Amino acid sequence: MRVGSATDGLAPVSVAERSLTAGVHEWVGLGAVAGAAVVADQITKRIVAGTLELGESRHVAGPLDLHHVQNSGIAFGFFPDATTLVIVLTAMVIAWLLVVFARSGARHPVMPVGLGLVVGGSVSNLADRVRLGHVTDFLDLDFWPAFNLADTFIVVGVALLLGAALISDRPPPRHR
């Protein structure tokens, strides 16, 4: 006996297809996470720019300092003189991520959160590059170049997406 409904009574339920396109709930989730990331990043950058002079540093705890620096390049200060190229490439990547999300946003429940963090961090840094020609970095660990919340959101979002992909690609456990 077969439970469920289908037009082809011979097709097993396991091959029933569901749409992977992002629906309203996925878009709202992505928008909420991306919006929160942009707001948090912009607020912290303004606080740092209003509190610390450029180049000024304050020790927080352990290896963490708040250090007001400007970065016209990308990660680790690479390509400092290619701001226009970085702006164009970043905008293209954001557009591509939104297309990917539109096509497969319902694939995994973590996707709106992970991609929302990546998009939000990217949009916030892009806005700074367009408006100011640089991003403000301020989180400084003794062993790592300075970064900001947007960078953190991007890294955490990518880690969430990779983790979800690795977990969902595992074969199901065998029952003994």
d(CA 149, CA 136): 10
**Active-site residue (options: 41, 128, 137, 140):** 137
Residue 148: closest CA among 88, 91, 79, 70? 70
Instruction: Answer whether 38's CB lies under 8 Å from 31's CB.
Output: no
Cβ of 24: how many Cβ atoms within 10 Å? 7
Cβ of 66: how many Cβ atoms within 10 Å? 18
d(CA 99, CA 23): 13
137 is catalytic: yes
Q: What tokens appear for 127 in the block?
A: 């806005």
**Active-site residue (options: 41, 128, 140, 151):** 151
Residue 69: closest CA among 151, 6, 3? 151
Instruction: Answer whether 160's CB lies under 8 Å from 88's CB.
Output: no
d(CA 29, CA 14): 28
Active site residue ranges: 137, 151
